Chains A and B, each alone.
Chain A
Amino acid sequence: MAKTIEEINERIKKGKAVVFTAEEIIDYAAEKGIKKAAQEVDVVTTGTFGPMCSSGAYFNVGHTKPRIKLGGGRTYLNDVPVYTGLAAVDLFLGATAMPDDDPRNKIFPGRFAYGGGHVIEELVAGKDVRLTATAYGTDCYPRKTLETYISLKDMNEAVLFNIRNAYQNYNVAVNLSDKVIYTYMGVLQPKMGNANYCSAGQLSPLLNDPYYKTIGIGTRIFLGGGIGYVVGSGTQHNPNVKRTEGGVPKMGAGTLSVKGDLKMMSPKWLRGTSLTGYGATLTVGIGIPIPILDEEILRYTMVRDEEIYAQVVDYSEAYPQCIPGSLGEVNYRELRSGKISVQGKEVPTAGLSSYFKAREIAEILKEWIEAGKFFLTNPVEPIPSVDSGIVFKSLKERPIKKR
């Protein structure tokens, strides 16, 4: 018999909800039988902890006396530039922003030791950061410069707002060239010396709800150690990719946009990240509860690493030049074992997404629900699925005519 979110919440309130992590449910449901387990289990918790670009935060820093209009001027947090084209004292800080004087890749490979993600980590840790700005001055906002320390508690609002997170599956990156390359998938050794992957596999949120039957707009989630919400599908959301018989995408597919109150989050789950030769970003911890409304939804959460496949892609030529195709398919059980076989060659693997931390997030979310501190939400709207007709576009360049 099917359950409702309201019924599950009622059981959470009474401290009677039955909760498993996406790892635990696999053996439990196999042993109990799907029918029985679907009746018994209320929630399956998922987790992921990896570098997630397209993350950022917005802040309202409060008005100065006399007033300053930061919009149209230049503003920095710890020398990292923020976007001010919003209003007087609203700022948006992107995770990959970096100080103007960072040498980038001028001394190759650049270290990218400090960027927007690191500012977010420091703010969440309660530290003071330097807010510096220059503005053009107006009659109502006469001030032209600002230099002050500021911390999260000084601000009116501080909101983590990530427009693309929690990628449903991802490429496995290798390097076919004869020199080391430095990518957003890590340092890749020549001649397929290593292979890097980036997904929590069987623990990953969207791999446990492959058709987005429960995760939608308004879903309450674990975000950065606090509470957040799914805003909608993320940018590059692309449900129409090759899938296994079980419905699991065999490559990057769905994404989520998420938000949450930064003041409630923890530096343990939001980490500034430096990818040598590539840039800075933010590593984000996300955990999403999946309500076990019926047998079908339970079956999706029983997905195992060996049933989740990813494409091996060459990042020396195929990826940068947008040459489609894959060097082969491997599953996450193989990836997590430490070696895979690609075109007859044994290649050592390493992760960028932490399975260890993903498990910890799923366990924390489970504890919150069991303790009656976290309730599930009905999505306001589903996010687009395979029937949406979404086509993932590349940029078609059109030459600009010179007059």
Chain B
Amino acid sequence: MQKKRVVLNYPSHLTDQPVISRLIKNYDLEINILRGWITPREQGRLVLEITGKRPALEAGMNYLKEMGVETQPLAQDVRWHEDRCTHCSACISICPTKALDIDRKRMEVSFHKDRCIACEGCIPVCPYQAMEILF
């Protein structure tokens, strides 16, 4: 089984189609929707965690591409500006997935992209604007 966290960008003509439903039914994939929103121009954006067998995952991603849905890995869109981080740890109690974690001995903060679900909880709590989410 493989797991992928991706950001999907829907063109407006697809917002009335059951894209995700087909992805689940036809490709036997498990979908966990982390975030979703529709912009005023009716373009859609979804952040998904997709789990499935590797061939199915690849086929599913191809299906999305054919449908005209742009996909990109979530990790690309979340940035931890290490040079701005002071390791104060203000973000640590807010981050629900330990994507922002701290080594308690060194009291050093680190960011693990693979655990981030882009909930944006860290954005208002960081006093140094060290976290950036580019959606």
Q: Which of the four size classes fits the interface of chain B?
A: 20 to 34
Interchain CA distance A109-B106 in the complex, whole Å: 33
Alpha-carbon separation in the docked complex, A206 to B132 (Å): 35
Which 7 pairs from chain A and chain B are nearest by CB?
A356-B87, A348-B93, A355-B107, A276-B124, A350-B93, A354-B88, A351-B89
Residues in chain B near residue A273, CB distance under 8 A = 127-128
Residues of chain B contacted by A271 (CB below 8 angstroms): 86, 128
CB neighbours (8 Å) of B67 from chain A are none
Interface positions of A from 269 to 289, Cβ below 8 Å from B: 271-277, 283
**Minimal beta-carbon separation of B11 from chain A (angstroms):** 31
B102: chain A residues within 8 A (beta carbon): 338
B108 within 8 A of A: yes
Query: Which residues of B have CB within 8 Å of A357?
Result: 86-88
Cβ B124 vs Cβ A187 within 8 A: yes
Point out the residue from B94, B106, B124 that lies within 8 Å of A350, measured CB to CB.
Answer: B94
Evaluate contact between A350 and B127: CB separation under 8 angstroms.
no
Residues on A with beta carbons closer than 8 Å to the beta carbon of B92: 338, 348, 350
Which of the residues B87, B94, B129 comes within 8 Å of A354, measured between beta carbons?
Answer: B87
A109 touches B124 (CB 8 A): yes
Q: Do B90 and A352 have beta carbons less than 8 Å apart?
A: yes
Q: Which of A325-355 contact B (CB under 8 A)?
A: 336-338, 348-355
19 example contacts (A-B, Cβ-Cβ < 8 A) are as follows A186-B90, A186-B125, A187-B125, A194-B94, A196-B90, A196-B93, A271-B86, A272-B128, A336-B104, A337-B104, A338-B92, A338-B93, A348-B93, A350-B90, A350-B91, A350-B92, A352-B88, A354-B87, A359-B107
Residue A113 lies at the interface, judged by CB distance under 8 Å to chain B: yes
Nearest residue, chain B, Cβ from A355: B107
